[in-house]
Amino acid sequence: MVKKNACIFISGEGSNFKNLLKRSRDYNFPISIKLIISNNPNAKGIIFARRYSIPYLIINTYLNNFENTILNNLNKYKINIICLAGYMKIISKNFLRSFKKRVVNIHPSLLPKFKGLNTFKRILKEGETKTGCTVHFVDETLDGGKIITQKSFYITSGFNELDLKKKTQMLEYVAYPEAIIKIFRFNY
Ligand code: GRF
């Protein structure tokens, strides 16, 4: 199977990256991870990239031309898809227009509910009874592109933010690979 080249953007832990890397070793999984981009030099995911000899690039988003640096590297590694996984920077309109290929993101809520940051805190505050995660295409709106996959669970009484995070992330590890399969195998 000819795999598509993926670049994963991270800012922190990188657990979704690790999970995708594990899945990408399956012969039938449609992507191969060729590059990691992080805006945070201390992202734990970088340690993982190093351990598995995956090229990585740490970018300084305070430099004017940082998006050009990213685009040049995406070209160099012939990247077909960007997977945002805990990347804490907004992708600019210009960047999306220049890259022209798929950009997907994973968000820890059932979009369109709870776009943006501090998701778990807001979910608890609103007294939601159900939550989950969403994988969606990235467009020029915040957490607003077409939804590819969602996974949900019921919130039982006594759940705190950490419980929500753990349960949501367990579902993310199923949802992200599933979304990628949907995109490349079923032309979503
Ligand atoms: C995930 O929960 C994802 O939904 C959100 O950021 C978190 C990243 O976690 N966008 P990790 O870095 O993949 O562990």
* Span 29-49, pLDDT tens digits: 999 999 999 999 999 999 999
Residue 5 phi/psi, 5° resolution? -85, 125
Catalytic-role residue among 107, 136, 151, 167: 107
Q: Does ligand 1 come within 6 angstroms of the Cβ of 108?
A: yes
The dihedral sign for the CA sequence 89, 101, 119, 92: positive
Distance CA 17, CA 120 (A): 21
Distance CA 47, CA 14 (A): 10
Catalytic site includes residue 136: no
Centroid of ligand 1 to alpha carbon of 33 (angstroms): 17
Half-sphere exposure of 130 (CA within 13 A, CB side): 7
Nearest Cα to Cα of residue 9 among 85, 117, 102, 106: 85
Q: Position 135: which residue type?
A: V
pLDDT at position 12 is 95
pLDDT at position 93 is 96
Query: Bridge partners of 120?
Result: none
Q: Whose CA is closest to atom 8 on ligand 1?
A: 86
pLDDT at position 16 is 98
